[in-house]
Chains A and B, each alone.
Chain A
Amino acid sequence: MSGQSGDFIKDWQGLAQQSWDAWLRQVQAAPAAAAAPPAGNDALQRTLAGLRGCFDWMQGVAAAGASQPGADWQTLLRSWAGSANQPFTQAFSGIDSTAAQGFVQQWQAWLQSAQAGGFAMPSATNGPVPAFGLQREQLMEQQELAAAIQAAAQANARYMALIQRANAQGLERLQARLAQRDAASPPIESLKALYDLWVDAVEEAYAEVALSDEFRSAYGDMVNTQMRVRQLQQRQTGQWCRELGMPTRDEVSALGARLQQLRRELRERGGNDAAAEILALRREVATLKRELAALAAKPAAVVKPKPAAAAKPKPVAAAKPRPAAKRATATAKAPARSAARPSSTRPRKR
């Protein structure tokens, strides 16, 4: 790449970006003639998100080359993955869902809605301030929440720093692997090949970081501090609900717990005798059914006067038990494939 014109690459980069944007618009807008896809949209969205990540990656590599024409490959890689560009971190933060939404987005959304209702967030910078008077409890809880949010933000920063460390170590591994390639190794000629090498390197580095004691501690802190914030939010929301005469989460939970306990006790008290009786009856019915089936399998005996001439059903040959090889590794032949049959419908969830 070093011998090429930087202007050309910049032009290409712009063109590629325009091309992607145009393509994305085309994909997102359903054609008039075609109905919108009824399902699979989640897969489509995820596919696009993942592909966009790959595209950004490729563009980043090309941009690094464009910004430093003539630079050697190691400089190029360092430039691409410099402090302003954390491709692994970006890929990581791209994994999201409502249930696992990032902490910052969650508490900001909550704070906005709370502020709309007249809630003022106290500062936690200088520690809690003793409160008194009619608003004492609310003020103390608000301060507690502010401190919890601050603790969670710090824990989140610590966690993200480890993700960035995995990013940096991944790049170092990639560089080392590229440097180790000898003259006999085929050169990397495509972005896809380079991308795959980068993924291998970063995943390895990430796995090491993720299995470290430091990560374990940071992960625990991140989750625990987030939960603490949510718990305090729930407590405040519960208070508002109580003041409005609405059922709270705690009340609903307590009812659920009592109901489940009642169900267990009912089963224990009344279920055992009845269950034993039902079990005995069902076994009897099952035995009778088998006897009936055996009788039904001998129609010839009824039609023909000579029972001896009637065809008897052959008993299924019992498989000869094989001695079990303790801790043996089993091998097997291919099974007979059953033909596909019309599908039965299964009710969708929820």
Chain B
Amino acid sequence: MDTPLHLDPIRLMQEIGSFQRKLATGMNQLRGMREPGYANTPRELVYSEDKLKLWHMQGDRAPTAKTPTLIVYALVNTVWMTDLQPDRSLVRNLLAQGEDVYLIDWGYPDGADRWLTLDDYLNGYLDRCVDTVRERHGLDAINLLGICQGGVFSLCYSAMHPEKVKNLITMVTPVDLQTPDNMLSHWCRELDVDLFVDTLGNVPAGLMNWVYLTLKPLRLNQQKYLGVVDILDNPVELENFLRMERWIFDSPDQAGEAFRQFIKDFYQGNKLVKGGLVIGGRKIDLRELELPILNIYAEQDHLVPPDASRALGRRVGSTDYTELAFKGGHIGIYVSGRAQRDVPPAIHQWLRARD
């Protein structure tokens, strides 16, 4: 018979039956499970302000690096992706390499944070965190490791405060936000963001999650869960899955004014590339960035396409610019086995050569 489909009813019935048996058995595993925690690497709170907390992460041994590194995460989702679980932790692996790591937890904005601008975030919160770390170490400048939107923040901050940043690492950071394959950028190009923020105030996390899910609706909302059936009898894998689900959906709202400015200047205006970006009255020009830069991007990133990140190399003034391509996606760059093996040592080696 010349047909690509050989769907035998009896076999299909067996397939459905097997599927349901696995589910029924696996549900007993799911019932008793508590919500998985993150890696919770030991840490010391060294500064806090409003919802923000600045943590000094503690390794098994004293750092060998002379210059500390501050991780600047995005405002969307939480920084704990970098310290997800003990065997999948960028933070732990950097500490194990001898780096001295600080990270900013932006917290969960509420109505009181509705009016925070990018100026408040960068020249306020971030600047005070940088100063705190500098003071603790008696240094003029420290390293920044910016992730995704946090990478954009780190670029802008470095341009505004070059004397305070020694080395800059950007991970999965969009620079050209209007590459043809950037779906998020495409969708918000005709958004009336003034109306949007005036109406919503802070942008709800649930709405942000809905947008992210609709980037790949079937894969992220349906097919992904089909794979869970096969790991229901594996407590370790199941716990890993639930931990990731927690991280994905346990996300903060976005402070309205900062969101408005980010969409206008970066997604709609693409001002990092086209120029004209001003934050808190200070002009930001990537060509003035002369510090060493390591730009790490993910080759299968559906949120920040590689071209969006690679655009940085053509625009910075630095003569010490390095790119690192990672074979994986936007999240895999932190949690995959390959990421644990490749990324922290690469960062460490790059930093050590410039410490």
> Contact flags (1/0) for A239-264 with B, using CB distance below 8 Å?
00000000001001100110111001
Do A327 and B313 touch (CB < 8 A)?
A: yes
B144 to chain A, nearest CB (A): 17
- For A19, the closest partner residue in chain B by CB is B20
- For A198, the closest partner residue in chain B by CB is B218
Do A227 and B199 touch (CB < 8 A)?
A: yes
Complex Cα spacing A231 to B194, Å? 12
Complex Cα spacing A240 to B225, Å? 45
Complex Cα spacing A288 to B24, Å? 64
Do B207 and A16 touch (CB < 8 A)?
A: no
Those of B254-307 within 8 Å (CB) of chain A: 292
Do B16 and A191 touch (CB < 8 A)?
A: yes
A90 to chain B, nearest CB (A): 10
Do B135 and A8 touch (CB < 8 A)?
A: no
Contacting residues, chain A, for B15 (C-beta < 8 A): 190-192
Do B217 and A206 touch (CB < 8 A)?
A: yes
The interface size bin for chain A is: 35 or more
Do A99 and B210 touch (CB < 8 A)?
A: yes
Interface: A111 (CB within 8 A): no
Complex Cα spacing A290 to B246, Å? 41
Binds A, one of B68-76, B91-99, B147-155, B328-336: B91-99
Do B352 and A231 touch (CB < 8 A)?
A: no
Contacting residues, chain A, for B223 (C-beta < 8 A): 50, 54, 195-196, 199
- Candidates A34, A97, A195, A282; contact of B135 at CB < 8 Å: A282
**Chain B residue total in the interface (Cβ 8 A):** 122
Interface: A78 (CB within 8 A): no
> Contact flags (1/0) for A293-325 with B, using CB distance below 8 Å?
000000000000000000000001011111111
A292 to chain B, nearest CB (A): 13
Do B198 and A231 touch (CB < 8 A)?
A: yes
Contacting residues, chain A, for B322 (C-beta < 8 A): 324-328, 330
Contacting residues, chain B, for A39 (C-beta < 8 A): 34-35
Do A326 and B355 touch (CB < 8 A)?
A: no
Contacting residues, chain A, for B195 (C-beta < 8 A): 224, 227-228, 231
**Are A203 and B219 also in contact (CB < 8 A) when A26-B24, A227-B199 are?**
yes
- Candidates A42, A221, A260, A326; contact of B249 at CB < 8 Å: A42
A contact face: mostly helix, strand, loop, or mixed: helix
Interface: A219 (CB within 8 A): yes
Complex Cα spacing A171 to B20, Å? 27
Do A211 and B181 touch (CB < 8 A)?
A: yes
Contacting residues, chain B, for A228 (C-beta < 8 A): 195
- Candidates B111, B222, B246; contact of A256 at CB < 8 Å: B111
Interface: A9 (CB within 8 A): yes
- For B302, the closest partner residue in chain A by CB is A207
Those of A29-54 within 8 Å (CB) of chain B: 30-31, 34, 37-40, 42-44, 46-47, 49-51, 53-54
Q: Which residues of A contact B (CB under 8 A)?
A: 1-2, 4, 8-9, 12, 15-16, 19-20, 23, 26-27, 30-31, 34, 37-40, 42-44, 46-47, 49-51, 53-55, 58, 61-62, 65, 72-73, 76, 88, 91-92, 94-100, 178-179, 181, 185, 187-192, 194-196, 199, 202-203, 206-207, 210-211, 215-217, 219-221, 223-224, 227-228, 230-231, 234, 249, 252-253, 256-257, 259-261, 264, 267, 275, 279, 282-283, 286-287, 290, 316, 318-341, 343-346, 349-350
Those of B83-138 within 8 Å (CB) of chain A: 86-87, 92-93, 95-97, 107-108, 111-112, 114-116, 120, 124, 131, 135-138
Contacting residues, chain B, for A287 (C-beta < 8 A): 138
Interface centre among B41, B199, B224, B252 (most CB of A within 10 A): B199
- Candidates B9, B116, B292; contact of A4 at CB < 8 Å: B9
User: Can you pick out 28 interface pairs between chain A and chain B where the beta carbons lie within 8 Å of each other?
Assistant: A4-B9, A16-B16, A19-B16, A26-B24, A40-B33, A40-B35, A44-B30, A50-B221, A50-B225, A55-B16, A91-B218, A95-B217, A100-B206, A100-B211, A189-B7, A190-B15, A195-B223, A253-B201, A256-B111, A275-B131, A318-B355, A322-B349, A324-B350, A327-B321, A332-B341, A332-B345, A341-B41, A345-B40
